[in-house]
């Protein structure tokens, strides 16, 4: 039987990789994918918890997270498209009209 | 395993009604051509909702939904917020040429999300409510599709928001793993009974919650999205965002930290205190050097979040009450100020830079008089509501023994006087550059009347 | 007897009428109001004098002026021998000079204003002498000061006049600074500032000492010295004498009334009033005596070389006032007051004569431009001659008696410095005679040294001016006869009369000594006159020679020992310099304002800095968020 | 808690006094802005009516008691136990009267000089009046603070909108200076409120005793607010700017009433609430006062700007006031209070006069004047009277105040009295010099054309002249009001409240 | 033992893939790697006998979301995307921050203690299938959140339309 902590560490590592990606990439889409990565990390830990706790809530939450993730994806990509129409770039650095 | 029994829908009635009406509005939009009518319908619907609000108290869905005085008050704030926002939007979105019916239903959905947050008794519900609100607000922020600034605002808000909610989820999962539940009361109960208060994982998840909520209330250093989002978003939406999500954030912050994390109060006070100081400091100080009034008000709203945090930090019921009070007052004075700004926006004239206010008192004495009142209220000069709000918050904070924190706060609020007064100065003590014409409408007038009355009356008779 | 109230309030009424109606209605007739009023109060004063002679004195409050806690003082009047004498002096001089002014000020654009001020002055002076407490005295004190300010600066469009007036007021303020503190100290000591409780209790505290700003000193001495500050300010004694010569900028009647007869003698009056206090303090007495002596000789020496006719008389006033102080200093308060009384007449006379000379010379003041006026203006000449004789102590004239009494009492009195001051007094007597007659000879004898048109213009003054001269002349001759000493078979009535108020110093000396001293001073006087005659009639070249011989001394004397310059360099300029360069230049601008404006400025700069952190780059925002989270985690888990 | 004498007149006089001006302002709000004369007359009528209504305070005042009179009390914010609680005693009554009087004069003096935004101007003036009266009448700390801060708004506008060339800077400076001071006071108020068991009732607060070192820092918290208003020495620099740039009416209100509130605050709050601390801080206060006296006086010698000079002279005069107050004895305190009135009258009058000539010449530079006396004799007469009053010439009001203060100061600390007395010498110096430079010497061509004062201006100055001599010759009318209150206040200060030393920690405990 | 080996493999691959996802220059590649990643995660779920979750992981994530991504990525022409370098200038800073956070969380997790056991024992789930169990819960206890979720999706639809639709009336 695999100790729970392994799953925990795994999810943590993935989560942090997501953070890393978000912090260091300049392509909006990839930044957004990093966020998805973080969500997945959370999912891993949640499912693990619910398995070890023998409780369903975790998986329910995962279900909802996936739903929301889908929604977020839709909106996020819509925003990106709208942005792209006005300014043909997916580079965050070039999208800094407002500052100060 | 017990069979399913239909839960009591009484407490949740306002939300249900809100949902139905929002959908109805969505449909109505298809048939109604004049969007003003849609707005009007929306106002009526809100009236209905606020009617159902009365007496809809209790706990249902197995403790997932708690409708008590606390949530009730916040819902009141949200209702007012959305009402005033719709009022100031009617003309404005027409001017911005984004006069779509979806706008209103989205606002309603966002409000619905806030209402759910306010009375969430379970982390899952909390999360979903938060996302409902957030997603709607992202869309609203980017509502002016052809405007790059609007897109950018939406984009920044969206990405950072998703980032923040990821942290929230991580926190939720931690606390879930620890306690095996997501119900706030149960969590609190469990932590106390199993003496987990000292456990770093609790602290960790508490921190993650704090971060996520700080993002929603735009507290430093998680405020970075706010100025850009506020500047880029349509002004009416800015008004909406600067009050609604902030209040909702405070609602969940108070709810979670007062119930679930009540036992680690020392810890989260220690986390929030520096955040509060930074928030007040950065908000007020950076606002000094702004040239765009929307951006300036963004920073000011950051600062106000800082003041309100004092009430949370106090950690007493008195403190929470003061925060509610503050949020209500803030809603009035801030939306009032935005209403004036919106009037300046007209075809081919953005009217959102400070210099557009020069000599306004000569051309539009009434508007500038109103702005004067709101500015002094935001500064916190009696006899305006702003003073009463601050006063109550400070009082509860001192009462909880945070005197030094309050001294810091008052110093910052004195500094804040400078940039609020600068608006007044520009209006009254400068000569008008070019003729500014106001786009007024009965709706905006009504909004201004309400806010003004509220600011003055609360200022004189807070009870 | 309540009609005494008329004495001060008649002039006040005249003042109000003139100042309110004068400009538009009375115009040229303004003088009637004032003259009638002053004459009225003269009459009342004489009546009061009679009462006092009949032994009726009075001390009562009119109303409560200031009442704060246990500090209570009213506006009240004390009428005793001293007051009575002063009343006579003041009202008499005032009346005559009012009349004189009708002629002198004729056709001046501020005619009404002039008379209004004169009346106001009379009112204040009377309040001063009639006060029954120190604070009211202080009121009159400042009041006369104010009037002198107005009257000196009467020709206010002349800068020198305006300056002189201001100078007079401010220099007096220096004196009043001490005076005021003295009053306060009196209150704190005795719990009241009414004369007679104070004077009766003062004996009790004679031994007490007080720690004043760290100096342990005798209480009474301190009080006395503080009051003395006031006295020297008003009576222009060293070192606060500087304002009086400049005061001659005012119209001549003013000089006569205020700066010779009445106001300047207020200091002496104060000393006499407070004799009970002073005589208890050895130190204070010595200070007084020495100050008086020094001032008198100091002024006399300056007077020797001045050419401005009015200034000469002014300096002689200084030195005569010195005489009076000297007298008080040696305990001879009676003699002091006696001299005050006689001096009032002959000095007023001198000034008025000078005025009439100026009138004739069209405002010319320089002796060098005059000469041989005798034949043009006989009345002026004779009256002025008599006045000069009187001041020179010509036996039988008023000055003679008072001066001799002073010298005798100084010599024979108990004062440790008596002999010394007597010696100085005698020298001064000589000098006085000299410069007075230098004035006479250079003005009236010899041949005219002025321009031709001046010569044509020469004429005797109108009746309204000459009559007062003659009247005053009577005073200058006869006013001394009330105090003829026993030695000369007189009754020394004056001394007797004053005894209840001023007491009488014990003297130990024989009549023989008294006679000798008298002779000495008379000789000194005659020597002075003789020398003057020699220098300025017989051998007019000698003074020039001497002047060349002792060029340095001459310059020093001519420039009044450079006292003004000294003050302006040690007090006036440094103060203004500090104000300009230290206070405005540094503390206000460089320090306080620097902070006041600097803090916001730095906040603003900081604001710009923070503002630049809002780069607009998404990943910066994210990084800051993550860093924030990191810091919090570290902070929470590592503590 | 101490009992008070409820208002026994037929009508709530204090409330009327406070809200009549507000009502007037509201009324003016309705007038068309084109109809300027109506605005003017309306404000004049309202201000006169207020003054007339305030006369009963003068006539019906019971001088034989220290209790609060004409008191009114209503619940206001029950949950915080805030009450609408008004009342006046011997200390405050005179200021109420002064405020009502001064407002009339301000309206009169601005009659012709305010052209642009006249409507707003008179509204501000009236609101100002109401707030000022409110400050002096409040017996509830919250209410007091409300008026205290509310006053800033109209004043800020008065300076900033109708002021001189550098007005914006001056206005902002004034506002921030005072605001920073008063927010610190707010903290103090809250602490007091919580410590004393949740009451803002001043009279009730006075009956409590507070631990010593809590008193000390409360004292400094209040000091921050009051000293800035007074203004005391280190924080005085807003005054010259504000006075100089403000329009005549603004300067007059500032000088006559506004800066009295600082000293009034000391009397009403610092001393009775924090007796031990006040006693302990006396030396510091006296030193500051003496510095202010001499500093303010000397710096006047260097001024070339007419209004600036008078502004600095107020610094000096207010130094006398604080000196008298902190002498903590009868003469000093009564002198201090009287001197506040005097300064209000005299400096107010001086600013009025300056305004009169400024309207003619539009220059504030002293060097531009000279020889005015020969073209404007009446004006010169009025001005010399004010000058004399300001240098404390006996028989003017200035003398009474200053003499009592120096007496009190000397009794308290010799050096204080002596140094203060030097201030009088310098005072004579700069005022007479000023008078000479403006009114004497050759008439400059610029001045030669000036016309003397017209009836309106004479009427404006007349009340001040009368007051000056009234107070100077028969001050008992005014001192009479104070005796009882001052005696009681001093009792409170000296018998003190026997506070024990408590550590800051358990102050916080106590508050919790 | 076998379990551990399997887990080891999956863990390693997942980490590797996620690293690839965030480091690839070409978004298309990232998406591809992510697809693979999701499959692995799904199989981890299978490990934890949560078949339904695994299923939706594949269907929704891999099937819907990623396709959406891919679609967008291809929509935006990526020619010049590939010219500019993919990382922000200061990526080491980002790395350091993330590592620090990792350490922080790890150090906290060392004290992790598991909560109380619930009634959904493995046998129970075996007995009635996982899907049924989850479904029951979803439609009874979690009815309310479920409804909210539906709203979230609705909002998403509206938003997507409002923002992305090419032309709009008025």
pLDDT tens, residue by residue, C535-579: 887 777 777 787 788 888 778 777 777 877 888 888 888 888 888
Query: Which pLDDT score is estimated for D512?
Result: 45
Q: What is the average pLDDT across D375-402?
A: 89
Q: What is the average pLDDT across C204-233?
A: 84
Write out chain C residues lying below 8 Å of D303, CB-based: 584
Please report, to the nearest 10 degrees, the dihedral formed by the alpha carbons of residues E65, E66, E72, E77 taken in order: 170
Indicate left, alpha or beta for B4 from its phi (over 0: left) and psi (-120 to 50: alpha).
beta
Beta strand D69-77 with D82-88: parallel, antiparallel or unpaired?
A: antiparallel
Tokens of residue E133, six digits:
């169990």
Q: Tens digit of pLDDT for each residue in D88-137? A: 888 888 899 999 999 999 999 888 888 888 888 999 999 999 999 999 99
Which of E65, E159, E160 to probe by mutation at the B interface, max B CB count within 10 Å? E159
Query: Which pLDDT score is estimated for A82?
Result: 86
Query: Which pLDDT score is estimated for E77?
Result: 64
Spatial neighbors of D47 by CB under 8 A, at least 6 apart, are D21, D24, D100, D103, D104, D106, D107, D125, D126, D129
pLDDT exceeds 80 at position C485? no
pLDDT exceeds 80 at position D7? no
pLDDT category, D500, cuts 50, 70, 90?
A: very low
d(CA A44, CA E45): 7
d(CA B235, CA B147): 13
Q: Is C634 on the interface with B (CB under 8 A)?
A: no
Which among B52-66, B72-86, D432-446 has the top mean pLDDT? Answer: B72-86
d(CA B48, CA B52): 6
User: What is the distance in angstroms between the Cα of B99 and the nearest Cα belonging to chain E?
Assistant: 7
Q: Is A51 on the interface with E (CB under 8 A)?
A: yes
Do A62 and A47 contact (CB within 8 A), yes or no?
Answer: yes
Q: Tens digit of pLDDT for each residue in D235-293? A: 888 898 899 899 989 999 998 899 899 999 999 888 888 888 888 889 999 999 999 99
Do B342 and B235 contact (CB within 8 A), yes or no?
Answer: yes
d(CA A88, CA A91): 9
d(CA C143, CA C121): 7
Query: Which pLDDT score is estimated for B101?
Result: 83
* Chains C–D, number of C-beta pairs less than 8 Å apart: 140
The DSSP annotation for B122-176 comes to: BHHHHHHHHHHHHHHHHHHHT--TT-HHHHHHHHHHHHHHHHHHHHHHHHHHHHH
Tokens of residue D144, six digits:
């007091």
Do B372 and B429 contact (CB within 8 A), yes or no?
Answer: no
Cβ–Cβ gap D183/B414 under 8 Å: yes
Q: Is B152 on the interface with A (CB under 8 A)?
A: yes
Helix (H, G, I), strand (E, B) or coil at D73: strand
Q: Please say whether the dihedral angle defined by the alpha carbons of residues C447, C450, C456 and C460, taken in this order, is positive or negative.
A: negative
Query: Which pLDDT score is estimated for B252?
Result: 94
Burial class for E121, CB neighbours closer than 10 Å (0-12, 13-18, 19+): exposed
pLDDT exceeds 70 at position C108? yes
Please state the ipTM of this predicted complex.
0.90
How many CA atoms does the CB half-sphere of C488 hold within 13 Å? Answer: 18
d(CA C470, CA C460): 14
Q: For C611, which of B208, B286, B418 is closest by C-beta distance? A: B286
Cβ–Cβ gap E113/B128 under 8 Å: no
d(CA B34, CA B29): 9
Q: Is C622 on the interface with B (CB under 8 A)?
A: yes
Do B154 and B147 contact (CB within 8 A), yes or no?
Answer: no
Report the share of chain B in percent with pLDDT over 70.
99
Cβ–Cβ gap B102/E163 under 8 Å: no
Query: Which pLDDT score is estimated for E83?
Result: 59
d(CA C131, CA C142): 13
Instruction: Give residues 404 to 463 of C whose Cβ lies within 8 Å of D.
Output: none
Helix (H, G, I), strand (E, B) or coil at C364: coil
Instruction: Give residues 216 to 235 of C whose Cβ lies within 8 Å of A.
Output: none
At B400, phi and psi to the nearest 5? -85, 5
Comparing CA positions, the residue from D311, D338, D469 lying closest to residue D393 is D469
Write out chain A residues lying below 8 Å of C618, CB-based: 31, 92, 95-96
d(CA B395, CA B318): 9
Comparing CA positions, the residue from D223, D249, D267, D330 lying closest to residue D95 is D267
Q: Is B289 on the interface with C (CB under 8 A)?
A: yes
Q: What is the average pLDDT across D405-427?
A: 89
Average pLDDT value for chain C: 84
d(CA C28, CA B323): 81
d(CA B187, CA B182): 7
Q: Is C625 on the interface with D (CB under 8 A)?
A: no
Cβ–Cβ gap B135/A75 under 8 Å: yes
Q: What is the average pLDDT across C57-78?
A: 86
d(CA B237, CA B327): 17
d(CA B213, CA B205): 12
Indicate left, alpha or beta for E138 from its phi (over 0: left) and psi (-120 to 50: alpha).
alpha
Q: What residues form DSSP beta bridges with C68?
A: C71
What number of helices (H) and strands (E) belong to chain A?
3, 0
- Do B and A count as touching (3 or more CB pairs closer than 8 A)? yes
Sole residue written with tokens 């008599």: C386
User: Which residue of chain B has the CA closest to A35?
Assistant: B163
Spatial neighbors of E116 by CB under 8 A, at least 6 apart, are A53, B180, B190
Q: Tens digit of pLDDT for each residue in B279-322? A: 999 999 999 999 999 999 999 999 999 999 999 999 888 899 99
Q: For C630, which of E97, E107, E108 is closest by C-beta distance? A: E97
Do B234 and B140 contact (CB within 8 A), yes or no?
Answer: yes
d(CA D399, CA D393): 5
Helix (H, G, I), strand (E, B) or coil at D361: helix
Cβ–Cβ gap C625/B228 under 8 Å: no
pLDDT exceeds 90 at position C478? no
Burial class for C571, CB neighbours closer than 10 Å (0-12, 13-18, 19+): exposed
Comparing CA positions, the residue from C297, C390, C282, C267 lying closest to residue C329 is C282
d(CA D389, CA D394): 8
Helix (H, G, I), strand (E, B) or coil at D383: helix
Q: Please say whether the dihedral angle defined by the alpha carbons of residues C567, C570, C573 and C578, taken in this order, is positive or negative.
A: negative
d(CA D74, CA E145): 51
Write out chain B residues lying below 8 Å of E149, CB-based: 128
Burial class for C489, CB neighbours closer than 10 Å (0-12, 13-18, 19+): exposed
Q: Please say whether the dihedral angle defined by the alpha carbons of residues B368, B374, B375 and B376, taken in this order, is positive or negative.
A: positive
Tokens of residue A37, six digits:
């990565």
pLDDT exceeds 80 at position D1? no
Q: What is the average pLDDT across B246-256?
A: 94
pLDDT exceeds 60 at position C203? yes
Q: What residues form DSSP beta bridges with C71?
A: C68
Tokens of residue B349, six digits:
């004239």
Spatial neighbors of D170 by CB under 8 A, at least 6 apart, are D159, D160, D163, D164, D238, D241, D242, D244, D245, D246
Helix (H, G, I), strand (E, B) or coil at E93: helix
* Chains A–B, number of C-beta pairs less than 8 Å apart: 118
Tokens of residue C397, six digits:
């004239």
Write out chain E residues lying below 8 Å of B97, CB-based: 170
How many CA atoms does the CB half-sphere of C498 hold within 13 Å? Answer: 26
Comparing CA positions, the residue from D337, D377, D361 lying closest to residue D445 is D361
Helix (H, G, I), strand (E, B) or coil at A99: coil
Write out chain E residues lying below 8 Å of C633, CB-based: 101, 104-105, 108
Residues shown for chain E: 170
pLDDT category, E87, cuts 50, 70, 90?
A: low
d(CA B336, CA B353): 17
Q: Residue D77: enclosing H or E segment and its boundaries? A: strand D69-77
User: What is the distance in angstroms between the Cα of E138 and the nearest Cα belonging to chain B?
Assistant: 11
Q: Which carries the bigger pLDDT value, residue C546 or residue D86?
A: D86
């Amino acid at each position: 039987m695999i100790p729970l902590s392994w799953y925990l560490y795994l999810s943590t590592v993935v989560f942090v990789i997501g953070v890393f990606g978000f912090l260091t990439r300049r392509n909006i889409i990839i930044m957004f994918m990093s966020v998805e990565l973080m969500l997945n990390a959370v999912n891993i830990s949640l499912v693990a918890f619910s398995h070890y706790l023998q409780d369903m809530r975790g998986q329910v939450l995962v279900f909802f997270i996936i739903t929301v993730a889908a929604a977020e994806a839709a909106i996020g990509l819509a925003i990106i498209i709208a942005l792209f129409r006005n300014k043909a770039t997916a580079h965050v650095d070039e999208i800094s009209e407002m500052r100060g | 395993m017990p069979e399913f029994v239909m839960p009591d829908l009484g407490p949740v009635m306002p939300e249900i009604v809100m949902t139905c009406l929002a959908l109805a509005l969505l449909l109505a939009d298809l048939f109604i051509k004049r969007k003003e009518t849609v707005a009007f319908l929306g106002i009526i619907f809100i009236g209905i909702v606020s009617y159902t609000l009365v007496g809809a108290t209790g706990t249902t869905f197995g403790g997932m939904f708690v409708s008590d005085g606390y949530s009730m008050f916040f819902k009141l704030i949200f209702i007012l917020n959305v009402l005033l926002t719709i009022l100031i939007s009617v003309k404005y979105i027409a001017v911005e040429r984004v006069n779509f019916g979806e706008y209103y239903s989205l606002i309603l959905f966002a409000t619905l999300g806030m209402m759910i947050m306010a009375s969430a008794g379970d982390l899952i519900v909390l999360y979903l409510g938060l996302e409902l609100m957030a997603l709607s607000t992202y869309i609203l922020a980017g509502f002016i599709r052809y405007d790059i600034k609007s897109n950018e605002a939406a984009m920044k808000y969206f990405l950072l928001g998703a980032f923040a909610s990821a942290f929230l989820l991580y926190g939720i999962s931690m606390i879930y793993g620890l306690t095996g539940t997501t119900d706030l009361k149960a969590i609190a109960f469990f932590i106390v009974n199993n003496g987990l208060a000292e456990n770093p994982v609790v602290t960790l998840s508490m921190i993650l919650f704090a971060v996520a909520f700080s993002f929603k209330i735009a507290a430093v250093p998680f405020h970075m999205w706010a100025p850009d989002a506020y500047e880029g978003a349509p002004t009416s939406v800015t008004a909406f965002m600067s009050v609604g999500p902030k209040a909702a954030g405070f609602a969940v912050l108070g709810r979670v930290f007062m119930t679930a994390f009540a036992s680690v109060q020392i810890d989260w006070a220690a986390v929030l205190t520096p955040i509060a100081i930074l928030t007040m400091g950065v908000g007020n100080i950076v606002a000094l050097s702004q040239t765009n009034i929307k951006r300036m008000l963004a920073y000011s709203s950051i600062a106000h979040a800082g003041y309100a945090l004092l009430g949370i930090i106090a950690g007493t019921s008195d403190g929470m009450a003061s925060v509610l009070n503050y949020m209500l007052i803030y809603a009035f004075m801030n939306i009032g100020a935005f209403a004036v700004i919106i009037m300046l926006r007209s075809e081919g004239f953005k009217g959102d830079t400070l210099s557009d206010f020069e000599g306004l008192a000569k051309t539009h004495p009434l508007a500038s008089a109103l702005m004067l009142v709101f500015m002094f209220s935001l500064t916190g000069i009696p006899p305006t509501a702003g003073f009463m709000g601050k006063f109550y918050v400070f009082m509860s904070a001192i009462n909880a023994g945070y005197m030094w924190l309050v001294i810091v706060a008052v110093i910052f609020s004195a500094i804040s006087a400078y940039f609020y007064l600068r608006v007044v100065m520009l209006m009254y003590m400068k000569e008008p550059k070019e003729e500014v014409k106001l786009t007024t409408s009965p709706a905006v007038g009504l909004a201004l009347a309400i806010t003004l009355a509220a600011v003055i009356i609360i200022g004189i008779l807070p009870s | 007897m309540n009609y005494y109230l008329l004495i001060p309030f008649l002039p006040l009424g005249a003042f109000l009428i003139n100042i309110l109606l004068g400009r538009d209605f009375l115009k040229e007739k303004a003088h009637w109001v004032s003259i009638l009023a002053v004459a009225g109060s003269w009459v009342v004063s004489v009546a009061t004098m009679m009462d006092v002679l009949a032994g009726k004195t009075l001390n009562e409050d009119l109303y409560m002026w200031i009442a704060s806690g246990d500090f209570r003082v009213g506006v009240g009047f004390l009428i005793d021998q001293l007051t009575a004498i002063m009343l006579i002096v003041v009202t008499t001089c005032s009346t005559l000079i009012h009349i004189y002014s009708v002629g002198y000020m004729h056709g001046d654009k501020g005619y009404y204003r002039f008379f209004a001020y004169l009346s106001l002055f009379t009112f204040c002076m009377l309040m001063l002498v009639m006060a029954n407490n120190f604070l009211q005295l202080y009121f009159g004190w400042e009041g006369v000061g104010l009037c002198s300010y107005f009257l000196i600066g009467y020709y206010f469009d002349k800068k020198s006049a305006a300056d002189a007036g201001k100078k007079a007021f401010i220099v007096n303020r220096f004196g009043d600074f001490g005076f005021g503190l003295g009053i306060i100290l009196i209150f704190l000591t005795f719990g009241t500032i009414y004369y007679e409780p104070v004077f009766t209790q003062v004996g009790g505290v004679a031994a007490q000492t007080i720690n004043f700003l760290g100096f342990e000193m005798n209480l009474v001495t301190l009080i006395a010295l503080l009051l003395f500050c006031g006295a020297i300010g008003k009576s222009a004694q060293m070192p606060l004498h500087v304002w009086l010569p400049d005061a001659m900028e005012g119209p001549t009647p003013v000089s006569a009334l205020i700066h010779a007869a009445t106001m300047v003698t207020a200091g002496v009056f104060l000393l006499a009033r407070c004799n009970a206090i002073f005589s208890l303090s050895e130190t204070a007495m010595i200070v007084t005596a020495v100050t008086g002596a020094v001032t008198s000789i100091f002024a006399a020496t300056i007077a020797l070389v001045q050419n401005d006719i009015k200034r000469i008389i002014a300096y002689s006033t200084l030195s005569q006032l010195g005489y009076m102080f000297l007298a008080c200093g040696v305990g001879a308060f009676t003699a002091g007051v006696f001299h005050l009384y006689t001096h009032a007449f002959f000095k007023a006379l001198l000034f008025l004569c000078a005025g009439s000379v100026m009138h004739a010379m069209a405002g010319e003041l320089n002796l060098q431009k005059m000469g041989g006026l005798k034949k043009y203006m006989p009345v002026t000449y004779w009256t002025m001659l008599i006045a000069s004789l009187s001041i020179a102590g010509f036996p039988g004239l008023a000055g003679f008696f008072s001066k001799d009494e002073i010298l005798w009492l100084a010599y024979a009195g108990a004062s440790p410095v008596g002999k010394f001051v007597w010696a100085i007094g005698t020298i001064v007597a000589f000098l006085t005679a000299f410069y007075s007659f230098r004035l006479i000879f250079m003005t009236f004898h010899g041949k005219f040294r002025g321009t031709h048109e001046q010569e044509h213009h020469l004429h005797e003054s109108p009746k309204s001016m000459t009559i007062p001269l003659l009247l005053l002349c009577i005073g200058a001759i006869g006013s001394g006869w009330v105090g003829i000493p026993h030695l000369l078979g007189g009754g020394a009535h004056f001394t007797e009369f004053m005894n209840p108020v001023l007491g009488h110093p014990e003297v130990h000396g024989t009549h023989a000594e008294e006679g000798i001293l008298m002779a000495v001073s008379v000789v000194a006087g005659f020597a002075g006159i003789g020398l003057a005659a020699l220098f300025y009639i017989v051998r007019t070249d000698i003074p020039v020679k001497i002047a060349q011989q002792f060029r340095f001394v001459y310059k020093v004397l001519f420039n009044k020992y450079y006292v003004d310059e000294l003050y302006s360099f040690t007090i006036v300029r440094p103060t203004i310099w500090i104000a300009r360069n230290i206070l405005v230049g540094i503390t206000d601008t460089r320090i306080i304002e620097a902070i006041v404006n600097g803090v916001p400025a730095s906040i603003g700069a900081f604001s710009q800095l923070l503002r630049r952190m809002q780069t607009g780059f998404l990943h910066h925002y994210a990084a800051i968020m993550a860093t924030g989270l990191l810091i919090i985690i570290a902070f929470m888990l590592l503590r | 808690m101490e009992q008070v004498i409820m208002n026994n007149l037929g009508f709530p006089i204090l409330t009327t006094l406070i809200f009549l001006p507000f009502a007037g302002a509201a009324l003016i709000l309705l007038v068309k802005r084109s109809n300027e004369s109506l605005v003017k007359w309306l404000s004049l009528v309202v201000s006169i009516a207020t003054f007339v209504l305030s006369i009963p305070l003068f006539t019906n005042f019971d001088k034989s008691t220290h209790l609060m009179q004409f008191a009114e009390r209503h619940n206001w914010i029950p949950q915080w136990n805030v009450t609408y609680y008004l009342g006046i005693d011997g200390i405050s009554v005179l200021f109420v009267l002064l405020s009502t009087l001064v407002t009339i004069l301000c309206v009169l003096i601005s009659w012709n000089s305010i052209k642009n935004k006249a409507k707003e101007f008179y509204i501000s003036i009236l609101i100002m009046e109401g707030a000022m009266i409110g400050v002096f009448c409040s017996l509830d700390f919250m209410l007091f603070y409300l008026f205290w801060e509310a006053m800033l708004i109209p004043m800020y506008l008065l300076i900033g909108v109708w002021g001189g060339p550098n007005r914006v800077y001056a206005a902002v400076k004034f506002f921030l200076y005072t605001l920073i001071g008063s927010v610190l006071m707010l903290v103090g108020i809250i602490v007091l409120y919580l410590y004393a068991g949740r009451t803002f009732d001043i009279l009730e607060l006075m009956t409590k005793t507070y631990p010593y070192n809590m008193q000390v820092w409360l004292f400094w918290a209040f000091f921050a607010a009051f000293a800035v208003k007074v203004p005391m020495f280190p924080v005085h620099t807003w005054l010259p700017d504000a006075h100089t740039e403000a329009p005549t009416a603004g300067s007059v209100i500032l000088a006559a009433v506004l800066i009295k509130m600082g000293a009034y605050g000391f009397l009403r709050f610092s001393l009775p609430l924090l007796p031990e601390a006040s006693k302990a801080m006396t030396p510091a206060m006296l030193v500051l006062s003496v510095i202010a006296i001499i500093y303010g006086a000397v710096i006047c010698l260097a001024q070339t700007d007419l209004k600036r000079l008078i502004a600095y002279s107020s610094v000096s005069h207010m130094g006398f006031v604080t000196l008298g107050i902190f002498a903590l004895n009868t003469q000093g305190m009564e002198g201090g209070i009287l001197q506040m009135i005097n300064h209000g009258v005299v400096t107010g009058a001086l600013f009025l006069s300056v305004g009169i000539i400024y309207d003619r010449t539009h220059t504030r530079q002293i060097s531009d004047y000279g020889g005015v006396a020969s073209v404007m004799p009446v004006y010169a007469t009025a001005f010399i009277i004010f000058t004399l009053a300001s240098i404390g010439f006996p028989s003017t009001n200035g003398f009474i105040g200053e003499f009592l203060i120096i007496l009190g100061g000397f009794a308290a600390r010799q050096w204080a009295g002596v140094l203060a007395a030097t201030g009088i010498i310098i005072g004579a110096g700069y005022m007479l010099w000023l008078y000479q430079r403006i009114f004497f010497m050759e008439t400059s061509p610029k001045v030669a054309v000036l016309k003397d004062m017209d009836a309106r201006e004479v009427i404006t100055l007349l009340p001040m002249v009368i007051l000056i001599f009234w107070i100077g010759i028969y001050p008992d009318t005014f001192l009479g009001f104070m005796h009882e209150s001052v005696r009681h206040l001093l009792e409170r200060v000296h018998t003190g409240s026997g506070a024990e030393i408590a550590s800051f920690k358990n102050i916080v405990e106590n508050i919790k | 033992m076998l379990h551990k080996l399997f887990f080891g493999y999956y863990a390693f691959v997942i980490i590797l893939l996620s690293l690839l996802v965030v480091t690839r220059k070409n978004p298309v590649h990232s998406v591809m790697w992510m697809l693979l990643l999701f499959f692995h995660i799904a199989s981890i779920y299978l490990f934890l006998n949560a078949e339904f979750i695994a299923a939706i992981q594949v269907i929704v994530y891999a099937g819907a979301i990623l396709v959406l991504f891919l679609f967008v990525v291809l929509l935006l022409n990526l020619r010049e995307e590939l010219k500019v370098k993919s990382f922000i200038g200061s990526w080491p800073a980002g790395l350091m921050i993330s590592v620090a956070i990792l350490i922080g969380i790890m150090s906290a997790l060392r004290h992790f203690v598991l909560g109380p056991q619930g009634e959904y024992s493995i046998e129970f789930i075996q007995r009635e299938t996982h899907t049924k169990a989850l479904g029951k819960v979803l439609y009874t206890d979690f009815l309310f959140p479920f409804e909210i979720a539906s709203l979230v999706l609705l909002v998403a639809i509206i938003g997507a339309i409002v923002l992305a639709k090419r032309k709009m009336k008025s």
